[in-house]
Every structure is written in C-alpha cells, then in structure tokens.
Amino acid sequence: MVDQLLVESLPCFAPLPSETKAALANALEEVSADAGKSIVSQGDFAYELFAIIDGTARVEQNGETVATLGPGELCGEIGILLTGRRTAAIVADTPMRLLALFDQSFRRLAREYPDFAELVHGQSQGRFTRVS
C-alpha cells in the first residue's frame, strides 16, 4: 500500500479517475533498485509490472539497449499482458524508486477497473515484444 498522492503524481496514471487511483494505491508496493541492478531479466517469468517514481533504466534485448525509461513511465507490462515472460531486461542506470504491482493484484484490478486495463494495454502499444 502506498500514498494515493504518490499514485496521482505519476503521469502514467494521470488519465485514471480518482477511484481507480485509490484502488491502485492499495495494491502497489514501493521498491528500490541500486544503479546497475537488474530489475527484470529477459526470458524470466513475468510476475509484476512497475511504475517508475525516480531514476532511469535501460531496456535491453539480447544485450542491446533498445529504450530508456524514466520517472512516470510503466515497464514490465508486456510480460504480464501478452507473453508471460520478460521480452527484455530492465537495468537501473541510476538509483531508482518504483511502484510494483504483482500479477494477481494486476489481474484483479484489471477486472474491477476496465479503465486501468485499457490504460496499461494502451501504454504497451508499440513497445518491443520480440523474443530471440
């Protein structure tokens, strides 16, 4: 559980109504990662998605950087939504604070709050999904 004001401050959740943000605040957990730490590894099972509070990370596929992520962005959603496995690694470039939403909570919230499911699906569009 995190403060609803924190959820409301993140651009990735801005389009959601207050009721949905309150439900998210009850389900999210704050986690941190040191610079250089792997947040997720390509090919692993996908158990959570993340919203970045502070810091930056790089997205790597097969060891090649394909994107950079920063505050207010979601990551890790493709594995939860589509593949069940991580299509890329996410590595912290700087110390990071993130909000984690675990799979079971994600599925419950997606059923109860279709606007949240739609938002996550929309943010996943155009992201790298190939697995080699």
CA angle 62, 67, 69 (to 5 degrees): 125
Distance CA 62, CA 50 (A): 21
Distance CA 20, CA 9 (A): 14
Question: Domains in the chain and their CATH numbers?
Answer: 4-124 (2.60.120.10)
Contact 60, 131 (CB under 8 A): no
Length of the chain: 132
Determine the 3-state secondary structure of 49 from DSSP. strand
Angle between helices 103-112 and 114-124 (to 10 degrees): 120
CB atoms within 10 A of CB 28: 24
pTM: predicted TM-score of the whole model, two decimal places: 0.90
- What single-letter DSSP state applies at residue 16? S
**In the predicted model, what is the mean pLDDT of residues 24-49?**
96
Look at residue 109 in the predicted model and tell me its pLDDT.
96
Provide the pairing of β-strand 64-69 with 57-61.
antiparallel
pLDDT of 53-83, one tens digit each?
Answer: 999 999 999 999 999 999 999 998 988 888 7
Look at residue 4 in the predicted model and tell me its pLDDT.
95
Look at residue 6 in the predicted model and tell me its pLDDT.
96
